[in-house]
Amino acid sequence: MNVLDFMQKNADRCWLLTWEHIWIVAFSVFLATLIAVPIGIAITRNEQVAKRVINTANILMTIPSIALFGIMLPILSLIGHGLGKVPAVIALVLYSQLPIIRNTYIAIKNVPPELVDAGRGLGMSNWRRLKEVEIPLAIPVIIAGLRTAAVMSIGIAAIAAYIGAGGLGVFIQQGIARVYEEMIIAGAILVAFLAIFVDAGMAILENLVTPKGVKIARKLGQ
Amino acid sequence: MNEAFGKAYRFLLIVVLIAAGVLIERTGLVKYLSDPYEVHYTISLIKQHLWMVAVSMTIATVLGLSVGIIFTRPRLKKYAGVIMYIVGLGQTIPSLAVIALAMSFLGIGFRPAIFALLIYSILPIARNTLAGITAVSPWIIDAARGMGMSNARVLFQVEIPNAMKVILTGFRVSLVINIGTAALAFLIGAGGLGEHIFIGIDLMRPDKLLAGAIPTTLLALIADYLCGLLGFLIIPRGLRLQQEV
């Protein structure tokens, strides 16, 4: 296989680009989580606001990624960051909002009211109830949102190579430009595998953070 | 609280619109699009883009629906889980990778692009058709059988209408992704609005870039909106009322 040859000869570069790709995605999803989870929790208090916020995130998600890069380019070049990692991270953070906000909102909303009441009956403050009852019960669904966001971000980060963000998209970009087939296939395969691995990894994480009680309840329910 | 939020939201929208207007003028997009030749060119790119989307979406819808329907029939139902898994796996593969692979196996031009778009668009439709039909409650199907409906009639008059909402969501997701991915088709020589975007980036010409990016965004938003309207037309009235209650 020529592709394997290519990967072997350029192993250093493969690792470097993969690492860069992972780093961009991890950083963006982390930032997005910091923003979206509090928003998702906050909007559970008011349904009207929740609708608006989720709709806005939905519209953001509808914008094609390469078009968003294009639209941001003239705006961000005002501060000297039209190309490179900054617009890529901003776009990934924006795209990750919808899955994370929506999942957080749905998860917190779906916590059984009797459990919330029980927490209140134990004399828990709002904050403690959130920390010890609502979030632990909601966390598997929130992680599922992160999983969607991460997998999507890996795909979009590949396109970001065209605005100079680096990552595995560079192989595809340069491969297409040079009609270097092995390079294209190596890039495509590495990105695809990265996405599949991250998807599987997050699925395991989802399982790990599910509270024991919830798992037992699920089994009993069957 | 609600009113204040609504006001703030509208205010924000207006600010964003004004900022967008200023930006468009500043980057020279207005001047760019005042040139009759460029307008003509942009319109032809939009047409090319839409043609690509239309061809690939038509085939993808037919194939996606058939896959979804075939694997919910009693005889093949046991494979539904496997198909669902494969489709899910396919959906995690980035769009650029699919486009790149299509190019390396099929070469450049319109056809490889259509093929890549088509493959990528089948997945959400097939997945949602499968999920939608599987979720139709067995009582309704039993009732239909009890009324003496044949298998085909159960499918077309009970299962599909009941699953329509989920299927339509799949179609919508697929269409929006397709419009975005079609912009990448320029990279493998199929033209479309990506031409403006990528050349604009390479030449560092914001006017050209926006002449591609803004129509692409509008196309996606309009398609999303139209799919919402389509829902009113083809989802049976009884189901819509049920959902509102």
B244 CA to chain A: closest CA distance, Å? Answer: 15
Provide the pLDDT for residue A179.
84
A214 CA to chain B: closest CA distance, Å? Answer: 24
pLDDT higher than 60, residue B18: yes
Chain A residues close to B197, C-beta within 8 Å: 66-67, 69-70
**CB–CB contact B220 A67 (8 Å):** yes
What tens digit of pLDDT does each residue of B82-109 get? 888 888 888 888 899 899 888 888 888 8
- Nearest residue of B to residue A3 by CA position? B104
What tens digit of pLDDT does each residue of B178-230 get? 999 999 999 998 889 999 999 998 898 888 888 899 999 999 999 999 998 98
B50 CA to chain A: closest CA distance, Å? Answer: 14
Provide the pLDDT for residue A94.
93
Residues 113-152 on A with a CB inside 8 Å of B are 151
Contact of B43 with B195, CB cutoff 8 Å: no
Task: Name the percent of chain A lying above pLDDT 90.
Answer: 49
Provide the pLDDT for residue A11.
87
**CB–CB contact A172 B96 (8 Å):** yes
As a whole number, mean pLDDT of residues A184-212 equals 90
Provide the pLDDT for residue A95.
93
How does residue A155 score in pLDDT terms, banded at 50, 70 and 90?
very high
Looking at CATH, the fold of the domain delimited by A2-221 is given as MetI-like fold (1.10.3720)
Provide the pLDDT for residue B243.
63
Contact of B48 with B114, CB cutoff 8 Å: no
Q: Which of B215, B150, B153, B140 is nearest to B179 (CA)?
A: B215
Which of A62, A77, A169 lies at the smallest CB-CB distance from B96? A169
B24 CA to chain A: closest CA distance, Å? Answer: 9
**Which DSSP string corresponds to chain B?**
-HHHHHHHHHHHHHHHHHHHHHHHHHTTHHHHHHSHHHHHHHHHHHHHHHHHHHHHHHHHHHHHHHHHHHTTSGGGGGGHHHHHHHHHHHHHS-HHHHHHHHHHHH-SSHHHHHHHHHHHHHHHHHHHHHHHHHHS-HHHHHHHHHTT--HHHIIIIIIHHHHHHHHHHHHHHHHHHHHHHHGGGGGGT--STHHHHHHHHHHT-HHHHHHHHHHHHHHHHHHHHHHHHHHHHHS-HHHHHHHH-
pLDDT higher than 90, residue B8: no
Of these ranges, A68-72, A209-213, B24-28, B47-51, the one predicted with the greatest mean pLDDT is: B47-51
Instruction: Confirm or reject contact between A201 and chain B (CB < 8 A).
Output: no
Distance, in Å, from the CA atom of A209 to the CA atom of A139, rounded to the nearest integer, reads: 7
B13-51 exposure pattern, b = at least 16 Cβ within 10 A, e = fewer: eeeeeeeeeebbeebbbeebbeeeebeeebeebbebbbb
Chain A residues close to B175, C-beta within 8 Å: none
Helix or strand or coil: residue A172?
helix
Which of A49, A158, A162 lies at the smallest CB-CB distance from B94? A158
**CB–CB contact B201 A48 (8 Å):** no
Whole-Å CA distances, A101 to A89, A94, A105, B13: 18, 11, 6, 20
Q: Which of A104, A133, A138, A106 is nearest to A118 (CA)?
A: A133
**CB–CB contact B183 A64 (8 Å):** yes
pLDDT higher than 70, residue B155: yes
Show me where the domains of chain A are located.
2-221
- Nearest residue of B to residue A59 by CA position? B221
What tens digit of pLDDT does each residue of A72-124 get? 888 888 888 778 889 999 999 999 999 999 999 999 998 888 888 898 899 88
pLDDT higher than 70, residue A149: yes
Which of A70, A192, A195 lies at the smallest CB-CB distance from B213? A70
A118 CA to chain B: closest CA distance, Å? Answer: 29
Provide the pLDDT for residue A24.
94
B88 CA to chain A: closest CA distance, Å? Answer: 10
Chain B residues close to A69, C-beta within 8 Å: 197, 201, 213
Considering the entire predicted model, what is its pTM?
0.88
As a whole number, mean pLDDT of residues B10-32 equals 84
Chain B residues close to A189, C-beta within 8 Å: 97
Contact of B116 with B190, CB cutoff 8 Å: no
Chain A residues close to B2, C-beta within 8 Å: 46, 48-49
What tens digit of pLDDT does each residue of B115-149 get? 999 999 999 999 999 999 998 888 988 999 999 98
Residues 35-64 on A with a CB inside 8 Å of B are 46, 48-49, 52, 59, 62-64
ipTM: 0.84
Chain B residues close to A102, C-beta within 8 Å: none
Provide the pLDDT for residue A222.
57
Distance, in Å, from the CA atom of B64 to the CA atom of B124, rounded to the nearest integer, reads: 8
Chain A residues close to B184, C-beta within 8 Å: 66, 159
**CB–CB contact B96 A181 (8 Å):** no
Task: Name the percent of chain B lying above pLDDT 90.
Answer: 42
What tens digit of pLDDT does each residue of B177-187 get? 999 999 999 99
